[in-house]
């Protein structure tokens, strides 16, 4: 686009106004005899990683009667865009102007590229979008830095990321990698699309969706990758880090059975760190026709490192419990329902009849 006199060089803000109202290129003769037409009014660099560089070639055709050497001026963001100081364009010929975009920060950037000689000047626009380099593999992985009990967030554009064979095997495309070293025994849960778990450089598991917990013991380092599972684009990633429950269960060696054949079993429980526990107790007693069985739970308990007592009544599914030996199975699970951090206890107890 021709903009006339190059007096804009001393007042950059006026250039934008002139460009906005300037007419399309005309065939009228310029003072220099040079008349330029750009191959495009706007050249898009697309998405470029911060710290890298992309180059686009712009066709510059001289439809005038005279050739010339034109000066090149970048209107703004001169720390991001660069081009040769001059360009030679013979009459009737097309030359290429190479413009480089080297972003140093994420975000959009745009500028006008002005070619001028004497009192004549022409401008074309260029622009691009910059994004931080993707955490594209284990070596570039984002470090998850949160303490247990907190939630980790990371947002990124996955269009610059590639898809490895390992990622594809978990249904992940344009994977983003993370690494985490546990300061204590924890459960890490990604609330995101498909996730792959890598330990010691080996894929150990895939999740088809978010919400699957991963146990990481104190001092262990584990890597994960996740992605959209479809078209690349912006990806929001949340990961919850929670202390891993350590339950301890005890079963009393003595139980009671009432006249209705209902069995009462008791025991102890504790948890480190403090937190909820779901307790399920199942029992069976051998009889002349097989087993008398019952199940109770899950029952919720708030536990601390201090021992807490528990007691449960179990009505038989059929028949009656009687005085004598009873096999007891107790199971403690996290309220998440995923079973991590759980423990079990088995004991044959002696049931006594109560009046």
* For range 249-259, the mean pLDDT: 96
Label residue 59 exposed, middle or buried (CB < 10 Å: 0-12, 13-18, 19+). middle
Bond preceding residue 222 cis, omega within 30 of 0: no
Is 74:82 a contact under the CB 8 Å cutoff? yes
> Has residue 355 got a pLDDT over 80?
no
Q: What is the model's pLDDT at position 12?
A: 39
Residues 6 or more apart in contact with residue 138 via CB below 8 angstroms: 177, 179, 198, 201, 223
Q: Is 138-243 in CATH node 3.30.300.20?
A: no
Spatial separation of the C-alpha atoms in residues 327 and 283, rounded to whole Å:
6
Mean pLDDT, rounded, for 82-101: 97
- Two structure tokens written together for 95: 């030359």
- Mean pLDDT along residues 101-126: 95
pLDDT band at 210 (very low <50, low <70, confident <90, very high): low
Pick from 10-24, 191-205, 209-223: least confident:
10-24
What pLDDT score does 11 carry?
37
- φ, ψ (nearest 5 deg) of residue 7: -65, -10
Q: Is the pLDDT of residue 82 over 80?
A: yes
Q: Where in the chain is the domain with CATH 2.60.40.2550?
A: 246-353
Range list for CATH 2.60.120.380 in the chain: 138-243
Q: Which CATH architecture has domain 246-353?
A: Sandwich (2.60)
Amino acid 214: pLDDT:
86
Q: Which two tokens stand for residue 331?
A: 């199971």
pLDDT score at 353: 94
- Per the model's pLDDT, the better-predicted residue between 66 and 171 turns out to be 66
- Angle, CA of 324, 325 and 328, to the nearest 5°: 135
Of residues 97 and 15, more confidence is placed in 97
197: which DSSP letter?
Answer: E
Reply yes or no on whether the pLDDT at 10 is more than 60: no
Indicate the pLDDT class of residue 102, thresholds 50, 70 and 90.
Answer: very high
C-alpha distance from residue 76 to each of 14, 21, 49, 72, 80 (Å): 12, 19, 20, 13, 9
Report the greatest alpha carbon distance in the chain: 119
- At the second CATH level, the architecture of 6-131 is Sandwich (2.60)
pLDDT surpassing 70 at residue 27: no
Instruction: Provide CATH 2.60.40.10 ranges for the chain.
Output: 6-131
Q: Pick the residue with more confidence: 283 or 9?
A: 283
Among 193-197, 227-231, 347-351, whose mean pLDDT is lowest?
A: 227-231
Mean pLDDT lowest for which of 24-28, 139-143, 149-153, 300-304?
Answer: 24-28
pLDDT > 50? residue 23: no
Look at residue 327 in the predicted model and tell me its pLDDT.
97
Pair 107, 130: CB distance under 8 Å:
yes
- Determine the pLDDT at residue 244: 86
User: Could you report the per-residue pLDDT of 174-184, keeping only the tens digit for each?
Assistant: 999 999 999 99
Please, which pLDDT band fits residue 230 given cuts at 50, 70 and 90?
Answer: confident
Residue with tokens 């992309």: 54
In the chain, what percentage of residues exceed pLDDT 90?
Answer: 54
* Distances 6 to 19, 31, 209 between C-alpha atoms, Å: 12, 12, 59
State phi, psi for 334 to the nearest 5 degrees: -70, 145
Does residue 21 carry a pLDDT above 50? no
């Amino acid at each position: 686009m021709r903009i006339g006199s190059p007096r804009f060089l001393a007042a950059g803000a006026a250039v934008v106004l002139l460009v906005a109202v300037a007419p399309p290129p005309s065939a009228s003769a310029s003072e220099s005899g040079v008349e330029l037409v750009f191959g495009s009014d706007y050249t898009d660099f697309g998405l470029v990683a911060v710290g890298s560089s992309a180059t686009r070639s712009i066709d510059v055709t001289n439809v005038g009667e005279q050739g010339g050497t034109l000066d090149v001026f970048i209107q703004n963001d001169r720390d991001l865009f660069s081009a040769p100081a001059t360009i030679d364009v013979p009459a009737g010929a097309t030359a290429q102007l190479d413009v480089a975009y080297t972003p140093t920060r994420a975000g959009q950037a745009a500028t006008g590229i002005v070619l001028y000689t004497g009192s004549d000047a022409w401008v074309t626009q260029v622009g691009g979008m910059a994004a931080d380099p993707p955490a594209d593999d284990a070596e570039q992985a984002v470090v998850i830095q949160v303490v247990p009990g907190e939630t980790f967030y990371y947002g990124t554009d996955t269009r610059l990321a590639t898809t490895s064979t390992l990622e594809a095997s978990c249904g992940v495309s344009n994977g983003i990698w993370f690494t985490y070293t546990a300061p204590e025994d924890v459960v890490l849960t990604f609330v995101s699309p498909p996730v792959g778990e890598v330990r010691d450089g080996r894929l150990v598991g895939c999740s088809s969706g978010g919400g699957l917990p991963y146990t990481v013991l104190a001092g262990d380092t584990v890597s994960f990758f996740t992605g959209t599972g479809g078209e690349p684009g912006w990806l929001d990633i949340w990961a919850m880090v929670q202390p891993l429950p350590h339950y301890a269960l005890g079963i009393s060696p003595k139980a009671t059975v009432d006249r209705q054949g209902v069995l009462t079993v008791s025991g102890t429980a504790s948890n480190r760190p403090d937190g909820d526990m779901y307790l399920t107790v199942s029992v069976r007693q051998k009889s002349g026709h097989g087993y008398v069985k019952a199940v109770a739970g899950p029952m919720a308990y708030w536990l601390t490192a201090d021992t807490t007592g528990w007691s449960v009544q179990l009505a038989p599914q059929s028949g009656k419990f009687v005085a004598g030996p009873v096999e007891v199975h107790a199971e403690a699970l996290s309220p998440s329902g995923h079973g991590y951090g759980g423990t079990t206890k088995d004991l044959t107890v002696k049931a006594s009849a109560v009046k």
